[in-house]
């Protein structure tokens, strides 16, 4: 009898655990100066107050779809399968751009405008299914006359319903081809004895410059700690920076104020000024138009 009770208890616990509403993670370019983010969370809580709501960031630069795409990819894999992400960087709100839910092969869900925001997660995590949000069903009640806050009226509402199990993915709306709008960029490749890539993002707190060149490519290239690298940066066809710097494991391996290159926390090639701001000092920014070339000295 005691064994039976133990089994039943474990069974009830498992059902309760997996029946709980899942997590919704919010990302926007709204900032936190007003009530926009709070309104989105209020809509989600109105669907089911047991939902777990978290923030990825609300400090995406205004209208910067590329940075929204990068922050999603930077973060998504650290969240459990089934997590629903709402990403609202939507300069085309109210236009004919589609509102979608993307399910990746990793089991994560992404809700928002199909404007390039899902470029990188679609590429790295794989596309399992894409649905266009049917606003006749999946829209906050009495919001039909609102054309400029889909984050609150459509995306937060749909994401919450999906996470809470009120609707299935099939009930989101019509199925679309397994593709999303992609933002083109320079992938990391070996060209002769050099590596070229892009600067997708800055380490904004410190001004360090992050590339999309992975550690494995750097390793196969034969670069080791202490070697010098010639780094050239362009915005489009304009050369912005060219300089030689050592490849180091830690910032402390070079004097304060000196340039260095290193592998960042995502294990991508990066460069910085020790105790300084490389981006500000040299005018280097980020985005798909920013390219970088590495050459060993």
| Residue 145's CATH number | 3.40.50.10790
Residue 148: predicted pLDDT: 78
Is 182 inside any structural domain? no
Give me the chain's average pLDDT, please. Answer: 93
105 in the same domain as 62: yes
| pLDDT for residue 5 | 59
User: 266 and 139, same structural domain?
Assistant: no
136 and 236 in a single domain? The answer is no
Domain assignment present for 29: yes
Q: Which of 128, 146, 176 is the last residue of a domain?
A: 176
Number of domain units in the chain: 2
Cα(107)–Cα(20) distance, integer angstroms:
17
Q: Which domain holds residue 264?
A: 189-296
* Residue 184 located in a structural domain: no
Using left for φ > 0, alpha for ψ between -120 and 50, and beta otherwise, residue 84 falls in beta
CA distance 116 to 72: 12
Residue 230's CATH number: 2.40.30.90
Note the pLDDT tens digit of each residue in 185-198.
999 999 999 999 99
Sort 1 into a burial class: Cβ within 10 Å, 0-12 / 13-18 / 19+.
exposed
Verify that 167 and 216 share a domain, yes or no: no
Q: What is the pLDDT of residue 297?
A: 81
Instruction: Answer yes or no: are the C-beta atoms of 196 and 291 closer than 8 Å.
Output: yes
Which segments in the chain show pLDDT lower than 50? 13-18
Do residue 169 and residue 217 come from a single domain? no
Angle in degrees, CA 89, 95, 100, rounded to 5: 60
pLDDT at residue 41, as a whole number: 98
What gap in Å lies between CA 26 and CA 156, rounded to an integer?
Answer: 8
Residues 159 and 41 in one domain: yes
SS3 state at 245:
strand
Which residue is listed with tokens 């060219």?
242
Residues in the chain: 297
- 85 three-state secondary structure: strand
Q: pLDDT digit string (tens) for 139-153? A: 888 877 777 799 899
Report yes or no on 181 lying in a domain: no
Whether 98 and 133 map to the same domain: the answer is: yes
Find tokens 């590429």 and name the residue.
123
Task: Note the pLDDT of residue 263.
Answer: 97
Q: What is the pLDDT of residue 10?
A: 56
């Amino acid at each position: 009898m005691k064994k039976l009770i133990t089994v039943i208890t474990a069974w009830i616990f498992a059902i309760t655990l997996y029946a709980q509403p899942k997590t919704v993670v919010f990302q926007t370019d709204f900032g936190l100066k007003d009530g926009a983010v709070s309104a989105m969370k209020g809509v989600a809580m109105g669907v089911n107050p047991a939902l777990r709501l978290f923030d990825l960031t609300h400090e995406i630069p205004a209208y910067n779809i590329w940075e929204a795409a990068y922050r999603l990819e930077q973060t998504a894999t650290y969240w459990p399968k089934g997590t629903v992400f709402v990403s609202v960087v939507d300069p085309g709100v109210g236009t004919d751009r589609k509102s979608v839910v993307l399910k990746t092969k990793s089991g994560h869900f992404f809700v928002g405008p199909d404007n390039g925001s899902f470029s990188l997660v679609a590429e790295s995590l794989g596309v399992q299914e894409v649905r266009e949000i049917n606003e006749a069903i999946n829209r906050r009640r009495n919001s039909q006359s609102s054309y400029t806050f889909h984050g609150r009226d459509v995306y937060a509402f749909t994401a919450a319903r999906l996470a809470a199990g009120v609707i299935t993915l099939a009930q989101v709306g019509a199925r679309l081809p397994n593709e999303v709008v992609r933002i083109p960029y320079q992938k990391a490749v070996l060209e002769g004895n050099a590596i070229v890539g892009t600067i997708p993002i800055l380490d904004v707190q410190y001004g360090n410059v992050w590339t999309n060149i992975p550690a494995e490519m750097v390793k196969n290239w034969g670069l080791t700690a202490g070697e010098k690298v010639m780094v050239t940066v362009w915005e489009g066809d304009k050369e912005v920076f060219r300089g030689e710097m050592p490849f180091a494991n830690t910032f402390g391996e070079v004097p304060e104020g000196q340039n260095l290159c290193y592998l960042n926390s995502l294990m991508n090639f990066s460069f910085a000024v020790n105790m300084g701001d490389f981006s500000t000092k040299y005018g280097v920014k980020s985005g798909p138009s920013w390219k970088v070339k590495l050459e060993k000295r």
